[in-house]
């Protein structure tokens, strides 16, 4: 409180000064990039999302340790994103948002094992595996997320899923402790994994020695297939709904007549009915209204309740 009894605010967002101080303490001394009021639309594949109170790109793992410890001390929430399976609501995310964009090292270990830092993108990792003639990640060709996000989501395609390749993960706990966790201790399900709480900063992948030309061919063929069947030229967050048992969500959305339906600039893709695309200026509320329309319509028309694969985060 100020001497006159009023509350100081930081102007831009009208947030109380006290909160701003806690955010500043949380990021104090962090060597990476720190941005207050960072528009998250710049960090999501949907190009949608309100601001993060503060967005941090830690310089390295020690920076993640320091940031998580200080954020915990300030009793602030922390959220990690890669940004490709997310709908961030229009009012953004309170507390600290972390992007691991600077944790991009890949190391080779004996026995066809790769260690990738959490921020390594799947396309980069697959490119590395091809150059080293390591097979086992071809199924993931075309998935744009980070390797850490792919473990947390147990990302998958009809060719395979993350759990097939994960050997162990390195995590920074909410109190800032580094720990390694073997794949046996992780419970993987359909687009989910039960991991200890914290920031995944590295992943060990068990691959196998293969023939470079063969690996490359599978990857190229799958990328072509995706280009032919998915709307890759417009911003999206991949598949919106999980597939119902023995069926495909895209088929259900199309069969119930929702292909092409739109709210504002959010549209059910004409190319793949399980994708919602941002045709320009879509807001999170446009996407949410469209999702609601599709889900209630499908319950009414087909009696099927589609579950979300997309993660919805942030303040309403
Ligand atoms: C064009 C397109 C195609 C896609 N195709 C596929 C596909 O074929 N199969 C598929 O499964 N997915 C697909 N996706 C979705 C997405 O790429 C995957 O779900 C991916 O696993 C998300 O990774 P991410 O790093 O972007 O994580 P985000 O989407 O940002 O986050 C997902 C969840 O993981 C958490 N998280 C992320 N990073 C960390 C971390 N380092 N530590 C702790 N928690 C973390 C987040 O907090 C959130 O809860 C596609 C997306 C697009 C845009």
pLDDT-derived band at 1 (thresholds 50, 70, 90) equals very low
- What is the structure's pLDDT at 14? 52
pLDDT-derived band at 316 (thresholds 50, 70, 90) equals confident
Output the CATH code of domain 17-99.
3.30.43.10
pLDDT-derived band at 7 (thresholds 50, 70, 90) equals very low
Average the pLDDT over 147-165 and give the result: 97
The residues spanned by each domain of the chain are 17-99, 106-228, 231-313
What is the residue with the minimal CA distance to atom 48 of ligand 1? 81
Report yes or no: 125 and 138 within 8 Å, Cβ to Cβ: no
Atom of ligand 1 nearest to the CA of 84: 26
Q: pTM for the full model?
A: 0.94
Calculate how far, in angstroms, residue 149's C-alpha sits from the geometric centre of ligand 1: 5
Calculate how far, in angstroms, residue 80's C-alpha sits from the geometric centre of ligand 1: 11
pLDDT tens for 96-136 read: 999 999 999 999 999 999 999 999 999 999 999 999 999 99
Calculate how far, in angstroms, residue 102's C-alpha sits from the geometric centre of ligand 1: 17
pLDDT tens for 164-203 read: 999 999 999 999 999 999 999 999 999 999 999 999 999 9
Atom of ligand 1 nearest to the CA of 150: 21
Considering the chain, what is the average pLDDT of its residues?
95
At the second CATH level, the architecture of 106-228 is 2-Layer Sandwich (3.30)
Convert 169-191 to b/e letters by CB count within 10 Å (16 or more is b): bbbbbbebeeeebebeebebeeb
Q: Using CA atoms, how far apart are residues 169 and 197, in angstroms rounded to an integer?
A: 12
Tokens of 53: 């109170």
Judge residue 125's burial from the number of C-beta atoms within 10 Å of its C-beta, 0-12 exposed, 13-18 middle, 19 or more buried.
buried
Report yes or no: 153 and 85 within 8 Å, Cβ to Cβ: yes
Length of the chain: 316
65: Cβ below 6 Å to ligand 1? Answer: no
Same fold, 106-228 and 231-313: no
Best CATH choice for the domain 231-313 from the list 3.40.140.10, 3.30.390.30, 3.40.630.30, 3.90.78.10: 3.90.78.10
Q: Using CA atoms, how far apart are residues 287 and 44, in angstroms rounded to an integer?
A: 14
Residue of 160, 140, 143, 163 lying closest to 152 (CA atoms) = 163
Return the best residue to mutate from 77, 152, 159, 172 for the ligand 1 pocket (most ligand atoms within 8 A of CB): 152
């Amino acid at each position: 409180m100020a001497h006159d009894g009023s509350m100081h605010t930081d102007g831009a967002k009208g947030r109380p000064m006290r909160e701003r101080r806690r955010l500043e303490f949380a990021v104090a001394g962090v060597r990476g990039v720190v941005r207050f009021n960072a528009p998250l639309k710049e960090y999501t594949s949907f190009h949608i999302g309100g601001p993060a109170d503060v967005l941090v790109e830690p310089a390295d793992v020690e920076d993640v340790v320091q940031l998580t410890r200080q954020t915990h001390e300030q009793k602030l929430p922390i959220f990690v994103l890669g940004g490709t399976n997310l709908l961030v609501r229009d009012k953004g995310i309170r507390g600290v948002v972390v992007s691991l964009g600077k944790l991009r090292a890949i190391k080779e270990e004996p026995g066809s094992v790769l260690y990738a830092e959490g921020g390594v993108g799947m396309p980069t990792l697959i490119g590395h595996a091809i150059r080293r003639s390591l097979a086992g990640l071809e199924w993931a060709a075309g998935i744009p997320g980070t390797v850490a996000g792919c473990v947390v989501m147990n990302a998958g395609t009809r060719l395979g899923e993350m759990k097939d390749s994960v050997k162990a993960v390195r995590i920074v706990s909410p109190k800032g402790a580094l720990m390694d966790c073997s794949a046996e201790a992780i419970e993987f399900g359909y687009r989910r994994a039960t991991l200890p709480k914290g920031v995944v900063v590295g992943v060990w992948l068990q691959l196998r020695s293969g023939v470079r030309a063969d690996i490359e061919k599978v990857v190229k063929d799958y990328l072509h297939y995706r280009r032919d069947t998915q709307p890759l030229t417009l911003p999206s967050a991949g598949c919106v709904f999980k597939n119902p048992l023995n069926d495909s969500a895209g088929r259900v959305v199309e069969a119930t007549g929702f292909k092409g339906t739109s709210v504002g600039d959010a549209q059910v893709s004409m190319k793949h009915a399980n994708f919602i695309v941002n045709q320009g200026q879509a807001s999170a509320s446009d996407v949410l209204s469209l999702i609601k329309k599709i889900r209630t319509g499908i319950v009414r028309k087909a009696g099927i309740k589609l579950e979300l694969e997309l993660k919805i985060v942030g303040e309403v």
